[in-house]
Amino acid sequence: MYRILSKEMLSPAICRMKVLAPRVAEAARPGQFLIVRTDEHGERIPLTISDYDADEGSVTIVTQKIGASTREICALGEGECLEDVVGPLGLPSEFVSMSDAELEGRRYIFIAGGVGTAPVYPQVKYLKSRGVSVDVIIGARTSDLIIYRDEMAECCDNLFICTDDGSEGFKGNVTAMLEKVVLEDGRRYDMAVAIGPMVMMKFATMTAKRLGIPITVSLNTIMVDGTGMCGACRVTVAGKTRFACVEGPEFNGYDVDFDEAMRRQGMYRSEEVEADHKCRIR
């Protein structure tokens, strides 16, 4: 059992929990994920690691209420326990294995959409700890849905907020913001990283390609089992079938077949709707 050390609602539908898991915290690296279960009969839910503290023995997860199982996770309170926290799984971000000499002088731009801001945070925090210049774009439909605003501002060089309705920061989406900071503000980047809804990553990749910026994307949203056995996370990358949970979750955005990945996301939609309905009427 894994005790919940703290719980905070970042928005009405987004919950942040710090969980006691010393062995996971010791081994965790940016870009990796966990498998979480609420009880012995619970669904296996893959959640990207949003922070980790080896000294405290804790890992932080951020969960959005989008179905029955994620609602069950968010319903737990401080002091209660999760049945399982398995990880860290997946491959760390590519820059984790890069030397100081390789990282020296590089400039990164992170593009975070919605709840995808949470897994961006440990990557930005890690790069800043190694002296790398990092800018971050956070996008959401409205200001009420912006998360990790203060935490991100503390560990990046420049934070750009954009909202679809203009309620905070730049009025427009993250791709328009990326074009603005590059074309109008004249900022130069060696690498972009996009994490968020699949459609956002698709258009962020298209924009980065037009601007001549290499881009990495995280395909954590299509994972189910988390071990490669179920096959639900199959995706075509550079013309080859890859498994996001064991060969990713991060890939070169230029090589990802996003249309196929988005179709795969809808495979279990009817089952998800039915399970969510049962959860709401309990």
Mean pLDDT of the residues in the chain: 88
What pLDDT was estimated at residue 52? Answer: 95
What class has domain 2-89?
mainly beta
What pLDDT was estimated at residue 277? Answer: 42
Q: What residue ranges do the domains of the chain occupy?
A: 2-89, 94-218
What pLDDT was estimated at residue 229? Answer: 66
Q: By the 8 A CB rule, do 88 and 49 touch?
A: yes
Looking at residue 90, the DSSP 8-state letter turns out to be: S
| Cα distances (Å, whole numbers) of residue 24 to 48, 53, 114, 121 | 13, 10, 25, 18
136-174: burial string, b at 16+ Cβ within 10 Å, e else: bbbbbeeeebbbbeebbeebbeebbbbbeeeebbbeebb
- DSSP bridge partners of 17: 7, 61
Q: By the 8 A CB rule, do 28 and 58 touch?
A: no
- Return the biggest CA–CA distance within the chain: 57
What pLDDT was estimated at residue 40? Answer: 85
Q: By the 8 A CB rule, do 43 and 35 touch?
A: no
Low-confidence ranges of the chain (pLDDT < 50): 270-279, 281
What pLDDT was estimated at residue 227? Answer: 63
pLDDT digit string, tens, across residues 255-280:
999 998 888 766 555 444 444 444 45
Q: Which helix H or strand E contains 2, and what residues bound it?
A: strand 2-11
CATH-assigned architecture of domain 94-218: 3-Layer(aba) Sandwich (3.40)
Write out the two tokens for 45.
Answer: 């839910």
**Residue from 104, 118, 105, 114 nearest 152 by CA:** 118
Confidence (pTM): 0.87
Q: By the 8 A CB rule, do 72 and 99 touch?
A: no
**Any residues with CB less than 8 A from the CB of 200 and at least 6 apart, and which?**
111, 113, 114, 116, 139, 173, 174, 175, 194
